[in-house]
Copies of this chain bind each other. A is one copy, B any other.
């Protein structure tokens, strides 16, 4: 198993009481980084603990960090975390150890620290979030066999799995300017599409979809021309978030031969505000998904025993829908997807090794999407395209409504949770957004 240390100790508890609740996403074993702002506090780095945000700048100014954590703490105070991500992992790890010491319920300085709680902690409900990094490039992968097979059957009945799929982790370049933080409304995009009668029209999409993905933030980068070998790739993963790769299927279908997705995706991509670090996720690493007996052996640069043994993450992922009608009746969101990040055919490290095998340079803060995380079961279908067989079999919601695709007012929320016997489960918080109507033409 990947290196564990005292920050993973399941007996450790926090003096921030909400962090000790069994269903809390942010126990002291998590300590994810994000960028927040609140009345009187300009945008800056923070750490989620229970229902609070720990203000790193206040803590730094109060002298709460040891010498070994100073560099990381200074970088983590900034309004973007790129400088933090660029640091060697051991420096981020040093900050994490200090944070765990400062926030633990039985630390020697607890009394002194808790007296500063009014300054150190900001209630999450008083804060708003920013994109935690300047994302230089966003790459979206396509690594779920089940997603690709189901979509292939709908869109290209003659060839369900692209020829290269089992030889390399397929991907395309995404759009960074329209990556937005959770709770930013998604404006229904207009676009060109071909109607059933063969006419081309320009109109608001009629096939708006979500895609439940994880996002991978790159830490240290590589120089142009110098690939990252698979064995070294895990050190380049700063952490993970949840990512909704919103898709307009009608626009996508019409535009994407032969250059791939463009305007069908670039109108919006939503990310969750908190970055759960590689170190926090170490206990939840599991073997990469099994390959079928007749699957091709990957090329050498995509083969590594350690990656096979613990290259995947055991993280339950879910999507819920809350329609306008459900909201007005005070109903709870309905779960429409339950899947796990460990079902992907390729690991995060393989994505990085492949991405850089041609010499392409990754930079701190670059974002990789895993692709839709569908598994083999019906409940694990992770987008409407799969759930409704391309809009042909509308989804029945608990309140009697149906959905072929998403409608205005629908709110989609993702959650993720990692668990393993003997460890405290950790989560990601919400990746959530509501569909707003198309602007008038």
A295 to chain B minimum Cβ distance, whole angstroms, is 13
CB contact list, A256-300 vs B, under 8 A = 256-264, 266-268, 296, 299-300
B362 touches A190 (CB 8 A): no
Q: Is A171 an interface residue (CB 8 A)?
A: yes
Given known A180-B224, A225-B187, A260-B172, contact A266–B200 (CB-CB < 8 A): no
**A173 adjacent to B170 (CB under 8 Å):** no
Q: Which residue of B lies closest to A192 (CB)?
A: B168
In Å, the complex CA distance between A186 and B168 comes to 24
For residue A38, which residues in chain B have a CB less than 8 angstroms away from its CB? none
Nearest to A264 among chain B residues (CB) is B358
Chain A positions 154-192 with a Cβ under 8 Å from a chain B Cβ: 156, 162-164, 167-168, 170-178, 180, 187, 189-192
Known: A257-B164, A258-B156. A263 touches B224 (CB 8 A): no
Instruction: Tell me whether A187 and B267 are in contact (CB under 8 A).
Output: no
Stretch of A28-36, A115-123, A247-255, A317-325 contacting B (4+ beta carbons < 8 Å): A247-255
Q: Smallest CB–CB gap between A50 and chain B, Å?
A: 32
**Contact status A358-B136, CB under 8 Å:** no
A13-43 to B contact mask, C-beta < 8 Å, 1/0? 0000000000000000000000000000000
With contacts A263-B360, A358-B248, A360-B178 taken as known, whether A268 is within 8 angstroms of B224 at the C-beta atoms is: yes
Residues of B within 8 A of A176 (CB): 136-137
Interchain CB contact under 8 A, A360 and B258: no
> Out of B168, B224, B300, B358, which one reaches A177, CB within 8 Å?
B224
Interface of A is mostly: loop
Whether the Cβ atoms of B358 and A164 lie closer than 8 Å is no
Residues of chain B lying within 8 A (CB to CB) of residue A163: 194, 254, 257
**208-261 of chain A: CB within 8 A of chain B:** 224-227, 248, 251, 254-261
Q: How many copies does the complex hold?
A: 2
Annotate A362-401 by CB proximity to B: 1 below 8 A, 0 otherwise.
Answer: 1100100000000000000000000000000000000000
When C-beta atoms are compared, the residue in chain B nearest to A142 turns out to be B259
Contacts of A363 on B, CB cut-off 8 Å?
A: 177
B357 touches A190 (CB 8 A): yes
Task: Say yes or no: B171 contacts A173, CB within 8 Å.
Answer: no
Neighbour of A262 across the interface among B156, B173, B225, B366, CB < 8 A = B173
A137 to B172, CA, bound (A): 14
Complex CA–CA separation, A261 to B171 (angstroms) = 9
Q: Are the CB atoms of B255 and A258 closer together than 8 Å? A: no
| Least CB distance, A144 to chain B, in whole angstroms | 14
Distance, CA A152 to CA B149, complexed state (A): 27
Using Cβ atoms and an 8 Å threshold, which residues of chain B touch A137?
A: 175-177
Q: Does A359 contact B (CB under 8 A)?
A: yes
Shortest Cβ distance from residue A150 to the other chain B in the assembled complex, whole angstroms = 14
What are the residues of chain B within 8 A of A359 when measuring CB–CB? 178, 187, 189-190, 267-268, 439
- Of all chain B residues, the one with the shortest Cβ separation from A297 is B200
* A256-B266 Cα distance, complex, nearest whole Å: 19
| Interface pair A174/B173, CB less than 8 Å apart | yes
Q: Tell whether A423 is near chain B: CB-to-CB under 8 Å.
A: no
* Contact (A200, B257) CB under 8 Å given A177-B362, A251-B358, A266-B173: no
Q: Which of B170, B201, B266, B354 is within 8 Å of A358, CB to CB?
A: B266
Instruction: Indicate which residue in B248, B254, B357 contacts A164 across the interface (CB closer than 8 Å).
Output: B254
6 CB < 8 A contacts A-B:
A137-B177, A164-B254, A189-B359, A200-B296, A202-B357, A267-B358
Other CB < 8 Å A-B pairs besides A142-B259, A202-B301, 4 of them? A175-B360, A187-B224, A190-B227, A260-B261
| CB-CB nearest 7 A-B residue pairs | A260-B260, A189-B358, A173-B173, A172-B259, A259-B260, A187-B225, A202-B299
